Amino acid sequence: MTLQETFGARLRQAMDTRGPLCVGIDPHPSLLTAWGLNDDVAGLERFTRTTVEALADRVAVLKPQSAFFERFGSRGIAVLEKAVAEARAAGALVLMDAKRGDIGSTMGAYAETYLRKDSPLFSDAVTVSPYLGFGSLRPALDQAVLSGCGVFVLALTSNPEGAEVQRSTAAGGRSLAQVMLDHMAAENAGAQPLGAVGAVVGATLGDAGADLDINGPLLAPGIGAQGATPADLPRVFGAAVRNVVPSVSRGVLKEGPDAAGLRAAAERFADEVRAAVTDA
Ligand SMILES: O=C(O)c1cc(=O)[nH]c(=O)n1[C@@H]1O[C@H](COP(=O)(O)O)[C@@H](O)[C@H]1O
């Protein structure tokens, strides 16, 4: 695989050319209603198509939240499959937010679902949980490298409940999250320009209080509806802020269904991120 084909290279290039932003596609029932749509498969399809058409040719990363599609069973998954293919065709990287985590043998099936090139849900990257043990992720980590894809591993999540688990002290006195971050750094060692293993670290944390030097991307959800702003990023991420992929879902989606409104919101967030990172 050439350097250009690695996930790290593709992500870096997308962020440099399109701006440092991930927009989440989270079709909440309340958003469907606010857009004048019904909370049914037709509404889901219209919402998703509008968002992809408005943003896939300009934002670096689109992150569909699988749960909102799974709600509708197989017909919802069909909408998701189409959205992934169309977003990728328009040049966006697709990060499937599925937060999968299971024993290794089952993780192998998830890896095939999202990271094998001939799968109907093939995406550029997927979110996973390491809290069944980092080693349980091995099939996804290996499949990602084979396919030139990325894996975003939950480390310090944006929700307040996460700390109970993630900040607990593990063997050797490190926090459990730090143990996971250290595994990620080991996976990414030597990769240029960035490794394929990303960490998820909430922008809401105030100060991450962890060593985020993993030589990989740092997905930062929590901007917008959960209260964080791009200006918070330098404080949370310190020197690692240049590897941050800030993520906004409702903060952009609430500006729909008008495509111009969605685009303007995404551009505004990307501009604010650029300013915050430049000033850092
Ligand atoms: O992995 C994620 O994307 C994620 C991790 C995390 O720590 N917190 C978090 O909010 N998310 C996801 O990011 C999105 C946040 O949506 P908004 O709060 O509407 O911007 C949701 O799809 C969450 O599932």
Q: Does the Cβ of 241 fall within 6 Å of ligand 1?
A: no
Q: Please give the single-letter amino acid code of residue 33.
A: T
Flag whether the pTM goes above 0.90. yes
Band (pLDDT 50/70/90 cuts) for residue 279 is confident
CB 50 within 8 A of CB 42: no
> Does residue 280 sit within a domain?
no
Q: Please choose, from the candidates 21, 23, 24, 25, the residue with its C-alpha nearest in 3D space to the C-alpha of residue 45.
A: 25
117 classed as catalytic: no
Compute the CA torsion angle 34, 36, 39, 40 (nearest 10 deg). Answer: -150
Closest-lying ligand 1 atom to the alpha carbon of residue 65: 22
pLDDT tens digits, 25-60 = 999 999 999 999 999 999 999 999 999 999 999 999
Q: What is the pLDDT of residue 3?
A: 58
DSSP 120-144: TT--SEEEE--TT-GGGGHHHHHHH
CA-CA-CA-CA torsion sign (264, 203, 11, 69)? negative
CATH number of the domain enclosing 115: 3.20.20.70
> Does residue 207 sit within a domain?
yes
> Does residue 206 sit within a domain?
yes
CB 76 within 8 A of CB 37: no
pLDDT tens digits, 105-125 = 999 999 999 999 999 999 999
Angstrom distance (rounded) from CA 274 to CA 257 = 26
Q: Whose CA is nearest to atom 13 of ligand 1?
A: 221
Q: Cα-atom radius of gyration of the chain, to the nearest Å?
A: 18
The most confident of 2-6, 160-164, 206-210, by mean pLDDT: 160-164
> Does residue 53 sit within a domain?
yes
Q: Please choose, from the candidates 156, 239, 243, the residue with its C-alpha nearest in 3D space to the C-alpha of residue 200.
A: 156
Q: What is the pLDDT of residue 1?
A: 60
Band (pLDDT 50/70/90 cuts) for residue 2 is low
The residue segments making up the domain with residue 53 are 3-274
> Does residue 8 sit within a domain?
yes
Closest-lying ligand 1 atom to the alpha carbon of residue 26: 22
Domain count of the fold of the chain: 1
Closest-lying ligand 1 atom to the alpha carbon of residue 158: 7
Q: Whose CA is nearest to atom 8 of ligand 1?
A: 158
Calculate mean pLDDT across residues 124-150: 98
> Does residue 188 sit within a domain?
yes
> Does residue 95 sit within a domain?
yes
Sole residue written with tokens 């290279």:
9
89 contacts: CB under 8 Å, gap ≥ 6 = 56
Sole residue written with tokens 């900040």:
167
> Does residue 279 sit within a domain?
no
CB 52 within 8 A of CB 90: yes
